[in-house]
């Protein structure tokens, strides 16, 4: 069995727990409000803006034996650069204030506790524990995208009657990350040291929980607000 398959098997329970969260299920059905969609995008911006810095930090901390992986990280960086602007543009296209989100002008526009903790854990994993652990986060974020992003985007677009340009983040990651997952699989199958494999598995389990906590926060935030129909 390849390491990638071992990784999937070892984290299957965590993945199923994440995918069964009410907000993810409702999103896949298009059953969310405009405010909830914007809240999701707001938290997406506050972690996506760290993707490139995290990749750079990870590449810088790798030992010489992982020079091949450092080269691959360069490709990831090229692909991921500027994706946070896609999220902001989606916020604007759905009627939100993207500059308010960019500058965290209000409490609702800022990174929530759960988002801050996930991002902090990623930086800590890279700098204190093992930079290979960052690839646990990659599994969670890209795997979730390919599983629900395109379907959710189409359903939400129809339900809220929003333009397609309000879904560049979801649509691009639904299709783009299919090739990313194949690339990721090939990289993980080249990681042969058991201790590094175990760190990636451990980190992925943690990131599934941390990412799920963000969705729980957005759902709780939505539940505390009155429903407002899309324009």
Using alpha carbons, select from 5, 101, 3 the residue that is nearest to residue 44.
Answer: 101
Phi (first) and psi of residue 163, to 5 degrees: -70, 160
Residue range 205-215, pLDDT digits in tens: 999 999 999 99
User: Distance between CA 34 and CA 225 in Å, rounded?
Assistant: 12
In Å, how far from its chain's centre is CA 158?
23
User: Average pLDDT, whole number, for the chain?
Assistant: 93
Helix (H, G, I), strand (E, B), or coil: what is residue 2? coil
Q: pLDDT, tens digit, for every residue of 44-68?
A: 999 999 999 999 999 999 999 999 9
Residues 203, 72, 6: CA angle, nearest 5 degrees: 40
The pLDDT score that the predictor gives to residue 177 is 58
What's the Rg (C-alpha) of the chain?
Answer: 17
Q: Which domains does the chain have, with CATH numbers?
A: 3-220 (1.20.910.10)
Cβ neighbourhood burial of 38 (10 Å; 0-12, 13-18, 19+): buried
**Distance in angstroms (rounded) separating the CA atoms of residues 91 and 99:** 10
Contact 133, 200 (CB under 8 A): yes
In tens, the pLDDT along 89-146 reads 999 999 999 999 999 999 999 999 999 999 999 999 999 999 999 999 999 998 887 7
Distances (CA, A) of 30 to 97, 149, 202: 22, 11, 32
pTM as predicted: 0.93
- Region 189-196: what's the mean pLDDT? 98
In this structure, the number of other CB atoms found within 10 A of the CB of residue 183 comes to: 16
Residue 94: the pLDDT is: 97
**Chain centre distance of CA 31:** 20
Find out whether 102 and 92 touch, Cβ atoms under 8 Å.
no
> DSSP label at 132?
G
CB 140 within 8 A of CB 178: no
Q: Which two tokens stand for residue 71?
A: 């080269």
Q: What is the pLDDT of residue 228?
A: 46
């Amino acid at each position: 069995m390849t390491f990638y398959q071992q990784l999937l098997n070892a984290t299957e329970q965590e993945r199923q727990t994440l995918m069964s969260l009410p907000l993810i299920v409702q999103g896949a059905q298009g059953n969310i409000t405009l405010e909830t969609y914007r809240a999701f995008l707001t938290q997406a911006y506050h972690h996506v803006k760290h993707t490139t810095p995290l990749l750079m930090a990870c590449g810088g901390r790798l030992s010489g034996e992982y020079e091949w992986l450092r080269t691959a990280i360069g490709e990831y960086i090229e692909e991921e650069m500027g994706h946070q602007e896609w999220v902001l543009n989606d916020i604007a296209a759905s009627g939100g204030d993207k500059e308010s989100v960019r500058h965290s002008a209000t409490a609702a526009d800022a990174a929530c506790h759960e988002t801050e903790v996930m991002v902090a854990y990623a930086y800590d994993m890279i700098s204190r524990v093992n930079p290979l652990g960052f690839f646990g986060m990659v599994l969670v974020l890209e795997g979730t995208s390919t599983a629900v992003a395109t379907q959710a985007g189409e359903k939400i677009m129809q339900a809220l009657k929003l333009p397609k340009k309000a879904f560049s983040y979801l649509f691009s990651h639904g299709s783009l990350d299919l090739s990313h997952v194949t690339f990721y699989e090939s990289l993980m199958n080249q990681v042969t040291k058991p201790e590094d494999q175990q760190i990636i598995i451990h980190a992925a389990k943690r990131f599934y929980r941390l990412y799920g906590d963000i969705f729980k926060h957005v759902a709780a935030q939505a539940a505390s607000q009155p429903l407002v129909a899309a324009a």
